[in-house]
Amino acid sequence: MQRIEIRNINSSKPTKPRMFDALIDDEGKIYFESKVHKNPERIALTDVMKQIKEAQTSY
């Protein structure tokens, strides 16, 4: 599994803040992982996109 640090590239800070990690598994599936109260939470990119599309259609 490959881990990519996703940072806020628009930040004015010299070291761009790390927002979350993107994980790519051996099958090419993509997940987002962040820490919530020091516990890692992982969500599939497809689930994120589904929720965004649902929000767009109800807007």
Write out pLDDT tens, residues 1-57.
999 999 999 999 999 999 999 999 999 999 999 988 889 999 999 999 999 999 999
Neighbours of 31 (CB within 10 A): 19
Against a cut of 0.85, is the pTM above it? no
**45, 32 contact by CB (below 8 A):** yes
Which of 55, 56, 3, 50 has the alpha carbon at shortest distance from 30?
A: 3
